[in-house]
Amino acid sequence: MAARGTTRRHSDFARGRAGAARLVVPLCEEDELMTAVPASDSVIAPASTPDTRHDALLELDGVSVGYDPRVVVADASFSASPGTVTTIIGPNGSGKSTLLRAIGGLSRTQAGVIRIDGVDVAQLGVRALARRLALLPQSAVAPDGLTVADLVSRGRQPHQRWYRQWTVSDERATLEAMERMDVATIAKRPLDELSGGQRQRAWIAMCLAQDTSILVLDEPTTHLDMSHAVEILETVRRLARESGRTILTVLHDLSLAARYSDRLVVVADGAIQAIGDPVDILTPELMRDAFHFAARVFPDPFDGTPTIAPAGL
């Protein structure tokens, strides 16, 4: 069991500051938030048998979401495949984040079914879903003073048992997540001392430590400058390719979405307007109809991906 001093050190995280942990396990109970304890301060139990694969298919079939009785997005149907990045784009207020909240189990659907490998997520318990899907909301907030290692260790919460031991598997998953996101060298630094790009890497590392087959990122480049945004998206695309994870994102920058996504899902006016390869669906007509914006769409001279510019330029 965890050392008593370690339990005290994390108690403020469990008391009323449960937001970060709830990003990992939607709707979890606050008395479960003490489960993950950094291995450096605990007794390490033997590794448990891994129960996670990194190649699950995410499907939405006729899904409607909103805030009763209002429907924000109706009859949404699309899939996201293993080893790919699927990005939802659309105007502000079109329901992109509302859709992600339903996918992540933070809100109920009004109609339709969300499936992971054919299993209705509504039939999964909180922990069972959290072992399959990790969600990073748009504005993630952590308690003051929380270190990178502390944050990343929270990703192991769905895999903990009632006796709250920290296992070799937890240790390995946490270290591998920090190394993959290039934050291992700053593991002991508080989050509030990091740059925006470093903080976002730490949050994504937490999701990777959760060891799920599906990773859902709502605006992972929010508040980042161009260089850090590109760095994050390069990493996300590489994660999909190398780990086989199914990655679903929401992005506002259409040119970046086109460059770093395998498929786009366009949400506007309460429904899905288009689904497909960025080259095929990003057209001036789509920009006019879905975004109500006169635009020029031209291929990037280096990789041919669509680039969006105002029509007046």
Sketch out the chain's domains with CATH numbers: 4-45+53-310 (3.40.50.300)
Look at residue 38 in the predicted model and tell me its pLDDT: 43
| pLDDT beyond 50 at 308 | yes
C-alpha angle with apex 115: 269 to 205, nearest 5 degrees?
Answer: 90
Specify the pTM: 0.82
User: To 10 degrees, the CA torsion angle through 230, 267, 207, 85?
Assistant: -60
pLDDT digits (tens, 9 = 90+) for 183-194: 999 999 999 999
Identify the pLDDT of residue 313. 55
Evaluate whether 134 touches 85 at the Cβ level (below 8 Å).
no
Query: And the tokens for 219?
Result: 């605006």
pLDDT at 222: 86
Tell me the C-alpha distance between 210 and 215, whole Å. Answer: 10
Interval 37-46 mean pLDDT:
41
Distance from C-alpha of 163 to C-alpha of 120, rounded to nearest angstrom: 29
pLDDT of amino acid 139: 79
Q: Is the distance from CB of 133 to CB of 212 less than 8 angstroms?
A: yes
Q: What mean pLDDT comes out for the span 210-239?
A: 94
**Whether pLDDT at 7 is above 80:** no
pLDDT of residue 142: 86
Residues pairing with 58 in the sheet? 80, 116
Helix (H, G, I), strand (E, B) or coil at 247: strand
**Residue with the two structure tokens 């489960």:** 35
In three-state secondary structure terms, 109 is: coil
For the segment 62-88, the average pLDDT, to the nearest whole number, is 96
* pLDDT exceeds cutoff 60 at 26: no
Under DSSP, the state recorded for 140 is -
